[in-house]
């Protein structure tokens, strides 16, 4: 394989439900052996990159490549642009923003994932702050996901869209499919290449996002997208694989 940078999604790709994908260890060994410049970029707003590596380490799987989550890149954006924000996400991730958090008159409202804690009252709080003039930032805008690896549930994007509709203000998206995310990862890899591959299970955030950013999308059928892909789908992945073992075969042939 040529040294084309490989960006890798987390949930639905290398983690299925609460466990690593069955062929994750083999996949990471392959990346290391072939010296493929790779980066895990996750739209997760529930974990940090360090926790991703700790997750695999708990299963005796060593991840030697860098990782980044939507919460971390959002923190960097906030630090570069604001002094006062109000943050809506899990308490675990909210702590990352402590030095910027205020309760009144925020310059921006930052939204992440609240899992099952979303409520009418919380949506109204966010709506009022943004309607009053605060900037609107969202860590990710996924429509849905499978928190247990099996059951589809609404994700933060569904609630962000409701606020956008009510305020007539578009949220600034930091996570995938934002080009900001892809470019940040590639810059940190320092490959100097504008070509890249994105391995993901989400047609919009991973495949379309990568293609719009100048890369190619590898759709994997271990997450939210069911096999076979609907023939009427407007999304055309550059490559399709059924699992990480199939990904190794594909990468070996490129």
pLDDT digits 0-9 by tens, 20-66:
999 999 999 999 999 999 999 998 888 899 999 999 999 999 999 99
Rounded to whole angstroms, the Cα distance separating 14 from 25 reads: 9
Taking the model in full, what pTM does it have? 0.86
Which of 114, 139, 173 is where one domain is finished?
A: 173
pLDDT digits 0-9 by tens, 202-226:
999 999 999 999 999 999 999 999 9
Work out the percent of the chain whose per-residue pLDDT is above 90: 85
Same domain, 61 and 182: yes
Any domain includes 151 = yes
pLDDT at 231: 87
State yes or no: pLDDT of 161 exceeds 80: yes
Domain that holds residue 236: 6-70+177-253
* Contact of 214 with 195, CB cutoff 8 Å: yes
* Cα-Cα end-to-end distance for the chain: 5
CB burial readout 43-55, b (16+ within 10 A) else e: bbbbbbbeebbeb
pLDDT digits 0-9 by tens, 168-203:
999 999 999 999 899 989 999 987 667 999 999 999
153 or 135, higher pLDDT: 135
Same domain, 61 and 186: yes
Helix (H, G, I), strand (E, B) or coil at 20: strand
Rounded to whole angstroms, the Cα distance separating 51 from 107 reads: 30
Cis status of the peptide bond prior to 228, with omega within 30 of 0: yes
Number of domains in the chain: 2
pLDDT at 149: 76
pLDDT at 104: 94
| CATH code: domain of residue 222 | 3.40.50.1000
């Amino acid at each position: 394989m040529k040294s084309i940078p490989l960006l890798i999604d987390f949930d639905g790709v290398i983690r299925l439900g609460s466990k690593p994908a069955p062929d994750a260890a083999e996949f990471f060994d392959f990346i290391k052996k072939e010296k493929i410049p790779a980066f895990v970029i996750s739209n997760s707003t529930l974990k940090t990159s360090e926790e991703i590596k700790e997750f695999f380490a708990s299963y005796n799987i060593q991840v030697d490549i860098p990782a980044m989550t939507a919460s971390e890149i959002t923190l960097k954006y906030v630090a570069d642009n604001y002094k006062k924000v109000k943050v809506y996400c899990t308490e675990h991730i909210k702590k990352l923003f402590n030095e910027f958090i205020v309760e009144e008159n925020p310059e921006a409202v930052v939204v992440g994932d609240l899992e099952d804690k979303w409520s009418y009252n919380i949506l109204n709080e966010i709506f009022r702050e943004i309607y009053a003039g605060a900037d609107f930032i969202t860590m990710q805008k996924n429509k849905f996901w499978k928190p247990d690896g099996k059951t589809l549930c609404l994700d933060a994007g569904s609630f962000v869209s409701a606020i956008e509709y009510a305020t007539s203000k578009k949220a600034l998206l930091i996570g995938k499919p934002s080009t900001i995310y892809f470019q940040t990862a590639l810059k940190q890899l320092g490959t100097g290449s504008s070509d890249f591959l994105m391995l993901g299970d989400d047609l919009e955030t991973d495949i379309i996002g990568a293609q719009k950013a100048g890369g190619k999308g590898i759709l994997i059928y271990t997450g939210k997208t069911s096999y076979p892909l609907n023939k009427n789908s407007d999304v055309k992945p550059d490559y399709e694989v059924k699992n990480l073992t199939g990904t190794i075969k594909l990468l070996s042939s490129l």
